[in-house]
């Protein structure tokens, strides 16, 4: 027993113990044995006194006499266990008295100390329990320290045990519009409720595990809707996860990169979009066309391209001014977008010329789509200038043909539409080298 580490908590540097014993001689003997080893020993003659002392002093261990009166040992044990789930409880007395108490009530974690007992045996049993209390407190203090540092962090963080959220730091609570973790639990909330993008089965916990197990160390992002401002775009977070000690415990930390993401998108827009019409620019068109030609060749699927030009656009600028001409270009792309499929790509080729890349359709279907585009424009009254028409040339990809060659044939068909009277669609016949 001399090698056993001593607990070091409570007043006076060690743990405290409550002794509830009606017999003065037994009570004094317990006090003499325990006082050198515990920071404070509180004594009570009755169960009622013991309950008052417990509420006032909150001892770390409790020793209850089996023959304690008012309200009785059984009732006192039940009350103490209800008050503290982890409080070590000892029932001391003659064997018959202890058995009577155990026969009348079942209370978890009560350890018997039978009289007469050897003081060394008593101390060993109590110090064993005290070590458990010390270990639990160490874990509790470590947990509080972890929560303190997480609360001081400006980055939202959450601790998960299995699929259950066991802690959320202050920064995350502020984002969710809450003040305490208790409020989060009381409302029965779940983090998945705020996610914009779908997650794998298992929700946020599965996402955290996937991050830790990602050997490629890729960037992982989460988009969360701000419950305080549902009218705003979702916040974008860079997510990092770490495995914590214990079974299936994870720390998920989020860094708000919304502003960086907006800047990144603005840069992409500058690189890929026409600043006036907000459709793809000519540089991006080259990438799109190259990708679609490669995909069509790989999977032997059809691909079509259309070259579209606004009729008499110079006259529009000369008559109504360049501002009105710009307005026509913007309004035109809006009208075309109503007809185009979600897989079609619209790009401004230059001036008043536009290109449509249409995957998955051949020449006949592409001609039908172009005709719908032509009618949609012709039937629309443009705000600044009234009626406007377009001419369209259509071409379908031949096996082995390049994207540039496909566009060149669509452009040639466009000029035939212009020469044929405008406001019409012309299709390019496949070259003689095209065996499809």
Which residues participate in catalysis according to the annotation? Answer: 352
Strands in 249-256's sheet, in edge-to-edge order, are 164-168, 157-161, 249-256, 235-244, 221-224
Q: Count CB neighbours of 239 within 10 A.
A: 18
Number of H helices, E strands in the chain: 14, 17
Strands in 61-65's sheet, in edge-to-edge order, are 40-44, 16-20, 61-65, 89-93, 110-114
Render 257-303 in DSSP notation, one character per residue. -HHHHHHHHHHHHHHHB-TTT-SB-HHHHHHHHHHHHHHHHHHT--E
The alpha carbon torsion through 141, 143, 146, 152 (nearest 10 deg) reads -80
Residue count of the chain: 436
Residue 378: is the preceding peptide bond cis (ω within 30°)? no
DSSP 236: E
402-427 in b/e form (b: 16+ CB < 10 A) is: ebeebbbbbbebbeebbeeeebbbbb
């Amino acid at each position: 027993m001399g090698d056993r580490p001593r607990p070091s908590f409570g007043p006076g540097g060690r743990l405290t113990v409550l002794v509830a014993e009606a017999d003065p001689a037994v009570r004094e003997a317990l006090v003499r044995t325990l006082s050198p080893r515990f920071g404070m020993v509180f004594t009570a003659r009755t169960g009622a006194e013991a309950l008052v002392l417990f509420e006032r002093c909150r001892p770390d261990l409790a020793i209850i006499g089996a023959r304690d009166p008012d309200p009785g040992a059984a009732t006192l044990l039940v009350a103490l266990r209800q008050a503290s789930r982890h409080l070590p409880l000892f029932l001391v007395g003659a064997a018959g008295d202890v058995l009577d108490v155990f026969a009348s009530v079942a209370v978890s974690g009560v350890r018997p100390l039978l009289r007469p007992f050897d003081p060394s045996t008593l101390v060993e049993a109590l110090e064993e329990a005290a070590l458990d209390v010390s270990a639990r407190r160490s874990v509790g203090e470590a947990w509080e320290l972890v929560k303190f540092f997480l609360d001081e962090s400006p980055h939202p963080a959450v601790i998960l045990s299995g699929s259950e959220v066991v802690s959320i730091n202050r920064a995350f609570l502020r984002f969710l519009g809450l003040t305490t973790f208790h409020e989060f639990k009381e409302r029965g909330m779940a983090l998945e409720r705020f996610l914009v993008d779908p997650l794998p089965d298992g929700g946020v916990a599965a996402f955290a595990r996937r991050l830790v197990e990602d050997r490629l160390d890729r960037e992982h992002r989460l988009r969360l809707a701000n419950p305080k401002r549902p009218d705003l775009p979702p916040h974008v977070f860079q997510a990092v996860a770490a495995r914590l000690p214990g079974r299936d415990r994870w720390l998920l930390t989020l860094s708000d990169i919304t502003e960086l993401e907006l800047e990144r998108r603005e840069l992409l827009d500058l690189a890929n979009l026409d600043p006036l019409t907000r459709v793809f620019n000519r540089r991006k068109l080259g990438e799109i066309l190259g990708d679609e030609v490669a995909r069509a060749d790989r999977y032997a699927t059809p691909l079509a391209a259309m070259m579209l030009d606004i009729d008499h656009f110079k006259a529009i600028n000369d008559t109504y001014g360049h501002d009105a001409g710009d307005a026509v270009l913007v309004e035109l792309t809006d009208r075309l977008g109503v007809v185009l499929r979600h897989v079609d790509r619209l790009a401004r080729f230059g001036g008043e010329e536009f290109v449509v890349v249409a995957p998955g359709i051949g020449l006949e279907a592409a001609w039908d789509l172009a005709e719908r585009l032509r009618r949609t424009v012709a039937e629309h009254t443009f705000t600044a200038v009234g009626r406007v028409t377009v001419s369209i040339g259509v071409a379908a990809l031949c096996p082995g043909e390049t994207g540039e060659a496909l566009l060149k044939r669509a452009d040639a068909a466009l000029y035939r539409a212009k020469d044929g009277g405008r406001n019409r669609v012309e299709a390019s016949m496949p070259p003689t080298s095209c065996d499809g």
